[in-house]
Structure 1
């Protein structure tokens, strides 16, 4: 069947009251314009389900719709996506704000290469995709009007909040005290709006990306390690070790 027809059927399903995840008219047009089959194999491109590729999850169309409805980006907004995946979300966002206003980072280098290739092939070569630790953001291009974090965390990383404009918004899946997740929009001042339950992989730190042989310690583990080291020896023990292997004169 023709891809345009399949795409139209996908949009109808997202708008229909059975799902009702797509309400914004501009977003509806944007999702209808992006050739999803350039990012997902044709047999699965327009089905409303996730797709695994190179160890990352290509989000289902309904999930992308929910994220971008919450983000509420306008034409000309400078935007950052943390967790670019293969680039589909970035392509839809490019339809909304203009491709040169979309910046994306991913911690996994193979995913970055794949996203660049797919975006170029789909006609969105102006989107910038860089290999970065997402928690650090993309300070060279800050400040941003909108930041979308496609990974779960307890609270937005401070660096991302600092890269928002004064009236900017960050949307992310928040891990609650009970261990569940819900989609939230925050400003620098705190919670702006909550949008319901979601399920995302946690935000990775450098060393946890696909293909890495050894995971780096996280900040919490670093603190515990430092404390243990500080308590494990006294000053005289360190002096003894330093002098132990030195021959006398």
Structure 2
């Protein structure tokens, strides 16, 4: 048995080629977990897995495709014989005003966040309910709590993930499977750093802690939800936003 909060556990993290997903994979590995990093960027996620460590593999996955998500779950079980944690982290943005947002951009964000999360919850829980335990962690956003101009698609999808989390938690609790969500605020990732500097600084100024968060700080919340420290928590939504919107 490996030592650490996740010693002997096996986790899948989607969207793990970089950003928050990669930070989660690193922290889970540091705490004894064996990690399947999944991402639509297959070469990138394989390189990321090599950097994470010896108990990590990278697998290509399009979270909007049912067969692709199912394949990742089956690959994890083939590789390790079990599945204990599934983190639905994969995400995209297609920001635009209502007047300028295309139907395609709306549908893309909905497909990745909502359908992707639902497919992950369904595939992971099918394995976990048979073993009588497991932790599923869905990545929402404070944008889903308050809404952001130019993000009608993203804000709606992230709010939907909260409702999905609570519904799934009620369905699966009696099988020993916990489902929780994290709502990050402004986190310093390539996605947010692509914002105009003045917009980023204005949002940072609105945060009581007066700084953006780091991916490792979101990973800490994910580690808590993945471990036995949160064994009596399901349907919860943890905000990791430096006090923004409290």
TM range (shorter): under 0.3
TM-score w.r.t. length of structure 2? 0.27
TM-score under structure 1 normalisation?
A: 0.27
- Point out the structure with max Rg over C-alpha: 1
Asked which structure has the greater RCO (Cα within 8 Å, sep 6+), the reply is 2
- Please identify which structure carries the higher strand content: 1
Q: Which has the higher helix share?
A: 2
